[in-house]
């Protein structure tokens, strides 16, 4: 299951829906039943966060195989 973000232009409401990736192009409705449009979701990382080889996830890029962590 993936989380997709939608926007209702009638209500000016943004909301999220969990749905299978196979249903990505199916229409969505807001809580009032209006047709909503899928929007590009944004994500954020904490400012100043640096990936390290000893981080719980194993470093950046799945184990530190790239030079991302040594960019600082």
In the chain, where are the structural domains located? Answer: 2-39
Span 12-31, pLDDT tens digits: 999 999 999 999 889 999 99
For the record, the structure tokens of 45 come out as: 């990382």
- Owner of token pair 């979701």: 41
Query: Can you give the pTM of this predicted structure?
Result: 0.56
Binning pLDDT at 50, 70 and 90, where does residue 41 land?
Answer: confident
Does the pLDDT of residue 36 top 70, yes or no? Answer: yes
CA distance 13 to 46: 26
Helices (H), the chain: none
């Amino acid at each position: 299951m993936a989380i997709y973000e939608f926007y209702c232009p009638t209500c000016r409401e943004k909301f999220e829906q969990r749905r299978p990736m196979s249903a990505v192009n199916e229409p969505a409705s807001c809580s009032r039943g209006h047709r909503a449009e899928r929007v590009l979701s944004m994500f954020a990382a904490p400012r100043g966060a640096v990936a390290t080889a000893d981080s719980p996830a194993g470093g950046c890029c799945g184990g530190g195989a790239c030079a991302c962590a040594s960019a600082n």
